Every structure is written in C-alpha cells, then in structure tokens.
Structure 1
Amino acid sequence: MLHIIMENKKTLVIGASLKEDRYSNIAIHRLTSNHIETLAIGLRTGEVEDVTIETEHKDFKDIHTVTLYLNPKRQEAYYDYIIGLKPQRVIFNPGTENPEFYDKLKKAGIEVEVACTLVLLSTNQY
C-alpha cells in the first residue's frame, strides 16, 4: 500500500546535480528507490538513476512536490515557474529557506514545508 501512496507524489527536484556527493543527487536516488516518479532541473543536462536532468523550465504536469536545492537568490528566477506548476507543496531543504517565497506560495494555495527531503523519506514522512 505504501508504494501506491508514494507513486502519487510525483516530485520535481530543482537544483539537481550530477555530482554524487550533492544532496540533490542523493535525493534523486532516494526518491526513485522509494518508487516516486521523479523529474529534475539543474544547470547541466545528464542522467541520475534514469532521471534526465533538464536545464529548461518545462511544462511538467501533475507535480505533487517541488523540492528545492537552490539558494534563495537563485530561486527568484523560478518563482513564477513553480507557482505555475501548481504543486501541492514545496520543500525548502536546509540552506534554501526563503520567507519571501513562502509568502508567494502560500498566497497561491501551495503548502510550504521547511524540511529535509532525505529525512522525510528516511522517516516515512514524505
């Protein structure tokens, strides 16, 4: 039953990295190993766990969660894009905290979660 629930939480990782020691890269591995459909946007194209990292703001559909691995300054270019995707929630991982963006998301009816994706996954709270 858990796999069915998790599969419905299609996740977009923004700030994805090809470098294996980066938390965004580890998150992609953990998301896919938990049977969560995963998409990714980063600075460079490539693949992590059969997930293609895109460099463009694609018009992805049915995104449940956006998990951020970008510092607040770099997030500004994504404000309208993320709101336009209409995810149910946006996770702000450590180092990405951004009260200005929280307000914009909440006004758009999008849940804000200041947490670590890796911890949420490992404690079955994702």
Structure 2
Amino acid sequence: MSKKTLVMGASTKPNRYSNYALERLIDRGYDVVAFGKREGQVSGISIETELVPYEDVHTITLYLGPKNQTAYYDYIVSLNPKRVIFNPGTENPELYQILREAKIPFEASCTLVLLSTNQY
C-alpha cells in the first residue's frame, strides 16, 4: 500500500496498543516504520531508537503522551506527513497548533478503530 505509516511510541510488549497497531498495519499490507524507546522487532519490523529522516511518510500515528511528544515536534513537522493521528491519550493542543501552522492535517482518532472500520 502507498500509505507509509510511522508508528511513534512503538513497543515490543504484546499488550500495548502500539504493538497491536503495528501488527494490524502490517497484516493489512501497509508500509510501516517504527520509532520507540527500546529497540526490538514486531512482525519483522524493526523499532528504531534514533530519528530516521524517512521520505514519503503518509501517516504518523502517535502512541506518545503529550509530555513525551515535545522533543519530537520538529521531527514530526520535518517529515511533512499527509496526516497525524492522535490516538486516545495522546491529544495535544500545543502540537495541534504547530501542525496547523505547518498545514499538516491531523485527527484525534484511534488507528485500531480506523483499520477495523476500513477508514484508515
């Protein structure tokens, strides 16, 4: 699929929603890249711990709380994604404003729900 997705806050722990999202995206055939605090793999996808300047990122789906997002504002904007998804618990009005100014669409939604209802 053409919608390359960056999962920010990726985890190898199977009980984490970011892990479920990685697996569902991969199962659906999306091109997935991942960033997290700890290295590891989920369904063959490596979780990077360094910021990689990916190209052609369609969607960034956030699994980082607002306090943990601040260090990545510039990085998120630099990737110029087509959209940013704020999963439950990641809503951040400060980042919303930064994205508005950069003309990057965003939505407060749930990646897992979007996938399960074919709205991703």
TM-score, normalised by the number of residues in structure 2: 0.99
After superposition, what is the alpha-carbon deviation per residue over 1:39-82, rounded to whole angstroms, capped at 9, x for unaligned? Answer: 00001111001110000111111000000000000000010000
Return the letter of the residue paired with 2:113. Answer: V
Structure 2 residue ranges without an equivalent (≥5): none
Return the letter of the residue paired with 1:119. Answer: V
Deviation above 4 Å: which 4+ runs of structure 1?
Answer: none
> Whole-Å Cα distance in 1 between the matches of residues 115 and 25 of structure 2?
8
Matched, 1:86 2:85: no
Structure 1 residue ranges without an equivalent (≥5): 1-6
Percent identity of the aligned residues?
Answer: 59
> Whole-Å Cα distance in 1 between the matches of residues 100 and 41 of structure 2?
32
Matched, 1:46 2:40: yes
> Whole-Å Cα distance in 2 between the matches of residues 118 and 61 of structure 1?
24
> Whole-Å Cα distance in 1 between the matches of residues 44 and 65 of structure 2?
26
Give the secondary structure class of the aligned counterpart of 1:16: coil
TM-score, normalised by the number of residues in structure 1: 0.94
| Alignment RMSD | 0.4
> Shift of the alpha carbon at 1:19?
0.1
> Shift of the alpha carbon at 1:106?
1.3
Match of residue 101 from structure 1: 95
Matched, 1:125 2:115: no
What is the aligned length? Answer: 120
